[in-house]
Structure 1
Amino acid sequence: MSPLFTPLTLRGLTFPNRVWISPMCQYAAEDGLVSDWHLVHLGGLATGGAGLIVAESTGVTPEGRISPYCAGIYNDEQTEAWARIVRFVHQQGTLIGLQLAHAGRKASTSAPWTGERRVPYADGGWPTVGPSPVPYGDLPAPREMTEKDLAAVRDAFAAGAERALRAGFDVVELHAAHGYLLHEFLSPLTNRRTDRYGGSLENRMRYPLEVVAAVREAWPDDRPLLVRISVTDWAPGGWDPPSSVELARRLAALGVDLVDCSSGGLLPDAAIPADGTYQTDLSETIRSGAGVRTAAVGRIADPRQAEEVLASGQADAVLIGRAALRNPRWPLAAAGQVGADLPWPVRYERAKPRPTPVENS
C-alpha cells in the first residue's frame, strides 16, 4: 500500500491517510467570525480525500489575531460559526482540526494583499504584546508581557481548546512557529527577559510548555494534540534544531502526539531555502532526535515526493498547502498517481479517472 494512504492512529482517532491540509489564513473573518468564504473554502477541501484538514491560525484573544480579518475562538458566537463549518466537513467524512494561536508582536497588521506586506494597527488595530519590546521589522515594538498577561493568555489558550471541543473539532494544534507569540518566547533573538521566562533554554521554553500543559488538560485524553514549531530561525544566534529536539522531547512528555515541523518567520530578512525539501530534513531531525511523530510541511506538491518523505522515515504525515489551493482535491489526484484507490464524493464519481481499457490487437 502507498505510505501516503496508510492510516495513522493517534490516541482514539484514526486518520484514514497521511495527506493532511495545512492551516492557511484566509483574512475573511469579521470580528473574528468565520464566514461563508470559510465554509466554501474548507468545505471544498473536505471533498478532496484528505486525512485531516487543519483550519487556519485562530486567535484565542482579540489581540492575538494576526489582523482584524482573522478568525477567533474567544466567544460563543465564533464557536457556533465554527460549528457550522465543522458539521459540513464531518458530513463529507473528513476530520478537521483547529490551529489555536496568538500572534504576539506580529499581530494587528493588514491583510497581505493591501499593497504593503504589513501595516501596523490597520483598520482599527491594537497595540501588540510580546516577551520583550523587540519589534518585528519596522512594526512598532510590542509591550513586554507581565506575569498577569502571561496567565491570561495561557488561560485563553485553554478556553480556546474547550470552545474547539464544543464546536466539534477532532484535533487542536498549537501554533508555536513563524515568529508568533510562543515562538517569540523560545527564540533568544526575541526573548530578552531576565525573569524566569527568559535567559536559559529552560526558561525560554517555560511559557510555551505551560500553555501546552494547560491545553492538554482542557482537551480530552482521547483526542490528539499537535504543536507546530519553527525548527530553526535560519539566523545566527537564533532558535535552532538542537533546541527544537529538546523542546519536542518536552512536548511529548506533556502529551503532545505529533510535532508539525515548519521553520522561519521570526525575522523578516532571514535567508530561507525555497525548494520542496527544505523542511523535510528538519522533520527527520525532530523525529529521530526526540523520538516523536512528526509532520513535514513546505512546498510539497508532488505525490511521489510526498511518498518518499514518508517511506524514508522523515515524517509520519505530510501537510499540503499551496498545492491544495490550486486543486482542493489534490489527495484524490495523488491517490490516482501512486496507485491507491480512494472513494470519491458520490456527486463527483462521474469524474473519477478510470483505467484505460486495453484493446486486443
Structure 2
Amino acid sequence: MRALKERVQKESAWVQPLLDEVGKVLVGQREMIERLLIGLLTGGHVLLEGVPGLAKTLAVSTLAKAVHADFQRIQFTPDLLPADLVGTLVYHQGDGSFRVKKGPVFANFVLADEINRAPAKVQSALLEAMQERQVTIGESTYPLPRPFLVLATQNPIDQEGTYPLPEAQVDRFMLKTVVGYPSREDELTILRRMARTAEAHETRAIVQPEAIVSARAIVDALWVDPSVEEYIVDLVLATREPARYGAKDLDGLVAHGASPRATIALALAARATAFLDGRPYVTPDDVRTIAPDVLRHRIGVTYEAEAEEVASGAIVQRVMEVVQVP
C-alpha cells in the first residue's frame, strides 16, 4: 500500500498545477472541473447541464488547452448532418475515385456544444463514436484517436429548441453534472476579472496525453475493499428495487433503475476521485461524492413522479439515505 501511495503521488503531480492553470481563467466551479478530470482519468464521457452563461463551454475549452492534445469544438444545431460530424466521401473528378474526408470527431477531445439541439441521425452517428471509439464512413470503419473523450454541454430540456437525448446515448455518458450559479463572492471575482476588453489569460499546456494514459493505469490499481464494492452494487440495485432497501416511499416513482453500466462507471469514478485526493484506496465517501453524477441520468421516472415533481436526482438522494454505508 505504501508503494502504491508513492506511485499515486508521483503520477498525480500534474493535477494541482492543472487545476491552478484552469483556475486562472475559470472562477469557482471546482466541482465541474473535478468531474471533467474524472472523465479524463477514466476515459468516460461527461455531460454538463445548465442554463447558458455558466462557463460550461469555457471550462471544457480551457481544460483542453491545458492538456496538450487535439481538440475540436462542434456546435450542434438542428440543421447539422452526420457528415458534418464524422466526415464523408468526396468524389475526385481527375481519377474518378472517392476519398475520405474525415470530420471534426477525429480528435482527442471533442466538445459537443449544446448537444441536445441536433437531430436524431446526428445523435446516432455520435453514439457509435462514443461507444465503439470508431465511425463508419461509406462502407468502411475508421478508429478514432486515443485517448478519445466527448465533453458535451446541454441546456435544460424545457428551453426552446432543445430535445431530450436518446436514453441509449445518455447512458453512454459516465457522468452528468448539473452546473449551478456561482456564489456572490465568485460572481464578484468574475466581474473584476472578465468585465474588460483586454484578452483573457492564455492557457498553457500543463500535461501531455501520455501522462493521463499513465495515470489511468494507477487508477485501475487503486484498492477497493470488498465492503465498498458491495456498497456500490447495493446503491445501483436500490435504484431498481427501492422498497427492498427500505425506501417504500419511492414505490411507483421509478420506471427503470440504473443499468450494470452504472455499476462499472460508479466504481471507476470512485477510483478516480480517490486518485485526485492522492489516496491509494477508495472510501465510501468517494462513492457518495460521485454517485449523484453517475446515477441521476440513468434513472427513469414514472408519470406519477413527474406529476409529483420528483426528479431522478431526488430519487438518488433518497437511495443514498436508505442504503447502509460500510
Give the TM-score taking structure 1 as reference length: 0.27
The structure, 1 or 2, with the larger RCO (C-alpha pairs under 8 Å, 6+ apart) is 2
- Would you tell me which structure has more helix in proportion to its own residues? 2
